[in-house]
Amino acid sequence: MSQLCHEGLFHFLSSPDSLKSICHIITFIEIPFHFFGVYCIAAKTPRRMRNVKRSMLIMHFSIICLKLIMSCLLIPFMMVPALAGVPLGLLEDWDIPLSFQMYLAVTGPAVTGITIVAVFENRYFLVCNNFYWRKIRIPYILFNYLTAFLCFLYPILQVPDQKTLTTAIPMIFVIFLVFVQAIIVILLIYHFFYTERFKLSENTTQMQKKFMKALFGQFLLFVMILGVPVSVFTFSMFLDDYNQGLNNLCIIILSLNGLISTSAMILLHQPYREWILGIFM
């Protein structure tokens, strides 16, 4: 019975119409959550944390953009293990060139990962006040964003401009970029918590640690949401296994990124969580 249920679910998910309908429903549900998240950051961030508000808003808007790309503008119908696919979203309805849509599909997750790391960097810079980091932080930030926006341009320009396109999207680029940023984040957190220069009051120290731990939880969720579908696609390629229902389920998981990330932000960060609980209690 369980096997029949699984087969029935994957059969339902395997059609383009099912994927498109589910993504549209997700978009409709998530939009209010995104506005609510913007309100929490803009209005409920404590004054003592006001320096982080701008980077938090940038991160949140990048998550919103990634969500809209995956579940509204693109809705990629992937046919792994061939790494071929067709878009089903609004951009295809508007006859936007397929090369640009592919560019968004790879650049969106990369930029979102960098904006999350940028929040960590912002806290490290403001609190630890490392002289050497002050010298290199601007080139570091510019390098990250330029890499995210420009790295996929050359492969895209090499693809012929045609209506039907089959090409290997370099998911390895996204994995590598996120992995490198994760290592940097871990090193920054370690230095943030254990450097001898970190001399603040006990209350401020605890507040900063709680914020960093909550932010790290958000980062882990983002990596997991991105990593699970990419891992499934990778194993499907190695095993040469085709399951369209599973492919579409991976795209649905990516489309849920906005809802999961916004919910995690509200629940993990103490000021937002306490405000929400105060409404219902």
Residue with tokens 């891992």: 231
pLDDT over 90 (residue 186): no
Domain count, the chain: 1
Flag whether 40 is in a domain.
yes
Is residue 184 exposed (0-12), middle (13-18) or buried (19+ Cβ within 10 Å)?
middle
**Integer Cα distance of 208 and 127 in angstroms:** 9
Flag whether 11 is in a domain.
no
Per-residue pLDDT tens digits for 227-240: 888 888 888 888 88
**Integer Cα distance of 226 and 177 in angstroms:** 12
Contact 173, 110 (CB under 8 A): yes
Q: Which amino acid is at 201?
A: S
* C-beta neighbour count of 132 within 10 angstroms: 7
Flag whether 6 is in a domain.
no
Per-residue pLDDT tens digits for 219-272: 888 888 888 888 888 888 888 888 888 899 999 998 898 888 889 888 888 888
Structural domain that includes position 60? 16-280
Flag whether 4 is in a domain.
no
Residue 71: both structure tokens together:
């579940």
What size, in residues, is the chain?
A: 281
Contact 240, 80 (CB under 8 A): no
pLDDT over 80 (residue 162): no
**Domain containing residue 213: CATH number:** 1.20.1070.10
